[in-house]
């Protein structure tokens, strides 16, 4: 049996203490590293965070590096990008799900309608703590709104002409209900991916109707094109006719005014000497009616007078001779007196 050596025991004790001290130091360093690394967190551009302190939650919206108190504060990150989900079909294989897609319209027709809903997190705190599964709630709200709106339209609107109006109505209804539920989500867009009748025969009939409507639109567009091509020429022709009519109107008015002025001038002369004017008008009329006729008037009461009608029809010697004859007759009458 070996005897106890005090020096050896002392060295063993020192070694044990050194090992313990090293272990504690390592644990302390590791703890410091863990606490130090856990005191910072980073927020990306398309993220927001919810910082919880003793059960009190607050949102952190600024991107970048942030500090938190280890073991006291807890951070949950939330994706704030626009996300989406399908209603009526599977996004993975694009297969229709009639449980969600088959609906009835207000004219009692069945249709298969597929939707895609786009949303994002508007309030991270409410999105995390206002409900257990906010996306599931949004899906249920969307299904209810989709069926309600589709049920208020006829089948033609759902399949062809009313898609934009239906999408807008569904989105407005979902937004209004989300405000009541207040689960921190916001809907941005509702899109009809596809809408078709449930049977092939009905589908073909609706395709034929759609083709006819497109043909109608094409015919209307062609007619409008023809109208636009012909209308400027027709308008120019109308303007030309109007201008010619206006010119004729002005010409006739001017001619009428000239005739009126001529008549007024003749009337003024007539008023001054009615007898002479009447005789002149009579001679001029006779000249026009009987241009080649010579008239000799044999007067009575010892008076012979030859009217100088030749002066109105002939400016030559015949007129001059008649004038001389009249002068001689007047001189003879004067001698007899």
Give the model's confidence band at 248: pLDDT under 50 very low, under 70 low, under 90 confident, else very high: very high
Using the structure block, give the residue that is written with the tokens 């069945």.
Answer: 110
- Structure token digits, residue 156: 């033609």
Q: Using alpha carbons only, give the angle 212, 218, 220 rounded to the nearest 5 degrees.
A: 105
87-96, 241-250, 324-333: least confidently modelled range: 324-333
Output the pLDDT for position 38: 56
Question: What is the Cα–Cα distance from 29 to 181, expressed in whole angstroms?
Answer: 49
66-80, 136-150, 162-176: least confidently modelled range: 66-80
5-19, 260-274, 275-289: least confidently modelled range: 5-19
pTM: 0.51
Give the model's confidence band at 219: pLDDT under 50 very low, under 70 low, under 90 confident, else very high: very high
| Whether residue 9 has pLDDT greater than 90 | no
The total of other beta-carbon atoms located within 10 Å of residue 116's CB is 16
Output the pLDDT for position 35: 52
Give the model's confidence band at 114: pLDDT under 50 very low, under 70 low, under 90 confident, else very high: very high
Output the pLDDT for position 113: 92
Pairing of strands 56-60, 185-196: unpaired
The rounded radius of gyration (Å) of the Cα atoms in the chain is: 58
Give the percent of the chain with pLDDT over 90.
27
Give the residue from 48, 45, 46, 43 showing the smallest Cα distance to 123: 48
Output the pLDDT for position 336: 44
Question: What is the Cα–Cα distance from 298 to 336, expressed in whole angstroms?
Answer: 18
Give the model's confidence band at 246: pLDDT under 50 very low, under 70 low, under 90 confident, else very high: very high
| Whether residue 143 has pLDDT greater than 90 | yes
The total of other beta-carbon atoms located within 10 Å of residue 288's CB is 9
20-24, 242-246, 268-272, 283-287: least confidently modelled range: 20-24
Q: Which residue has the higher pLDDT, 210 or 181?
A: 181
| Whether residue 265 has pLDDT greater than 70 | yes
| Whether residue 61 has pLDDT greater than 90 | no
Give the model's confidence band at 273: pLDDT under 50 very low, under 70 low, under 90 confident, else very high: confident
Q: Which residue has the higher pLDDT, 101 or 15?
A: 101
Report, as an integer, the average pLDDT of 204-215: 79
Report, as an integer, the average pLDDT of 142-161: 90
Give the model's confidence band at 309: pLDDT under 50 very low, under 70 low, under 90 confident, else very high: very low
Give the model's confidence band at 175: pLDDT under 50 very low, under 70 low, under 90 confident, else very high: very high
Contact 144, 94 (CB under 8 A): no
Output the pLDDT for position 321: 46
Query: How high does pLDDT run on average in the chain?
Result: 78
| Whether residue 59 has pLDDT greater than 80 | no
Output the pLDDT for position 190: 94
Q: Where in the chain is the domain with CATH 3.30.479.30?
A: 82-198
Report, as an integer, the average pLDDT of 21-28: 66
- Structurally, what CATH architecture does the domain formed by 82-198 represent? 2-Layer Sandwich (3.30)
**Highest-scoring range by mean pLDDT, 3-7, 15-19, 77-81:** 77-81
- Structure token digits, residue 39: 């005191």
Taking the mean position of all CA atoms in its chain, how far away is CA 213? 21
Report, as an integer, the average pLDDT of 285-298: 69
Output the pLDDT for position 44: 81
């Amino acid at each position: 049996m070996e005897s106890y050596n005090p020096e050896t025991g002392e060295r063993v004790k020192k070694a044990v203490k050194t090992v313990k001290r090293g272990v504690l130091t390592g644990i302390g360093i590791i703890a410091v590293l863990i606490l130090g690394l856990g005191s910072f967190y980073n927020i990306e551009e398309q993220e927001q965070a919810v910082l919880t302190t003793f059960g009190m939650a607050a949102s952190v919206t600024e991107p970048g590096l942030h500090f938190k108190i280890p073991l006291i504060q807890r951070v949950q990150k939330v994706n704030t990008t626009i996300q989406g989900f399908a209603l009526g079909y599977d996004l993975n294989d694009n297969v229709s799900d009639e449980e969600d897609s088959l609906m009835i319209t207000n004219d009692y027709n069945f249709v298969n309608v597929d939707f895609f809903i786009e949303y994002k997190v508007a309030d991270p705190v409410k999105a995390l703590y206002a409900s257990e599964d906010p996306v599931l709630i949004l899906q249920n709200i969307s299904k209810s709104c989709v069926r309600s709106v589709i049920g208020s339209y006829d089948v033609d609107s759902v399949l062809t002409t009313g898609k934009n109006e239906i999408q807008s109505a569904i989105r407005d209804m979902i937004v209004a209900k989300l405000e009541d539920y207040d689960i921190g989500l916001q809907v941005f867009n509702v899109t009809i991916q596809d809408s078709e009748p449930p049977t092939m025969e009905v589908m073909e009939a609706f395709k034929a109707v759609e083709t006819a409507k497109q043909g109608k639109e094409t015919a209307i567009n062609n007619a409008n094109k023809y109208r636009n091509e012909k209308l400027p020429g027709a308008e120019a022709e109308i303007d030309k006719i109007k201008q010619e009519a206006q010119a004729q109107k002005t010409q006739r008015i001017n001619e009428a005014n000239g005739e009126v002025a001529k008549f007024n001038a003749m009337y003024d002369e007539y008023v001054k000497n009615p007898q002479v004017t009447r005789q002149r008008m009579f001679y001029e009329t006779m000249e026009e009616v009987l241009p080649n006729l010579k008239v000799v008037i044999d007067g009575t009461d010892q008076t012979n007078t030859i009217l100088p009608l030749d002066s109105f029809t002939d400016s030559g010697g015949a007129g001059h001779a008649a004038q001389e004859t009249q002068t001689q007759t007047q001189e003879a009458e004067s001698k007899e007196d």
